Amino acid sequence: MNTIIFGDGNLGRAIAAALRETGTEPRILGRPATNGRHVPDALGSVDMVFDASRGDAVLTNVESALAAGCRRFVIGTTGWDADRPAVDGVLREAGASAVVAANLSVGAALFLRIVERAAALYGAVDGFEPYIVEWHRRNKRDRPSGTARELARLIVAGEGTADDAARAGTADDAARAGTADGATRAGELEIAVVRAGSSPGMHLVGFDAPGETIELRLTARDRSAYAAGALAAAAWLSAASRSAGCHPFDAVIDEMTQRTLAATA
């Protein structure tokens, strides 16, 4: 099987290492030398693509791989939200399918579900104010991270407050708009972003009240969890015919958990 990984950074190399353990030797491609686009003829006949590149390269990478005949994609790149409708469109037009996630870790996907439930519970009572802290390596480009943005969306939806628009704006546009003196506005979701060192990823969600604080934390020790999730997504795509377009990683998680629960019933 001709497997290509777009992106020769930390995530791309981690996916490659995981594939080699299964007996698959992938081709890892960095940024194209000219024109910002990979030449389809140079890709060969592609069976599976993993995208771990840059947000501004996802659309052209997908277009090039589609032209080379690929119909299955796993996209773990972040920072391409503006191009998602276009990516979904070209996939549908070609009859191709992709699993898309800002974070391909199975543990992170389950963490999101825990946070969603926690936000609903603490949002149902008075006095608990949510916040998010995320820490990644110094050279990570997007801030807040894609995972932090998804956590913010879940918290806003779970709380169901009247100030949802203001909270959603902080998740979409910046870590925190704040007021002129740096204070947090009432009803605004605080998202603290740290870009330092080489951390592969830490996300903390807290709910603070006058007399107590509850914190939920997800810490990645390395990128092996992301790679394992990428392979699980590829297996899901290969296991059955999937509808064209972008699929959330949740679809993979649903099938995994349902299979496990059925086996233990």
Which sequence positions are flagged as catalytic?
A: 136, 140
- Cβ partners under 8 Å of residue 209, min gap 6: 127, 128, 129
CA nearest neighbour of 75 among 89, 61, 86, 85:
61
Q: How far apart are CA 2 and CA 101, in angstroms?
A: 22
Residue 183 to residues 86, 164, 188: CA-CA distances in angstroms?
38, 19, 10
Residue 171 to residues 149, 160, 179: CA-CA distances in angstroms?
5, 15, 16
The three-state secondary structure class of 17 is helix
**Using an 8 Å Cβ cutoff, are 191 and 129 in contact?**
no
- Cβ partners under 8 Å of residue 150, min gap 6: 102, 103, 112
Residue 23 to residues 1, 186, 233: CA-CA distances in angstroms?
10, 54, 17
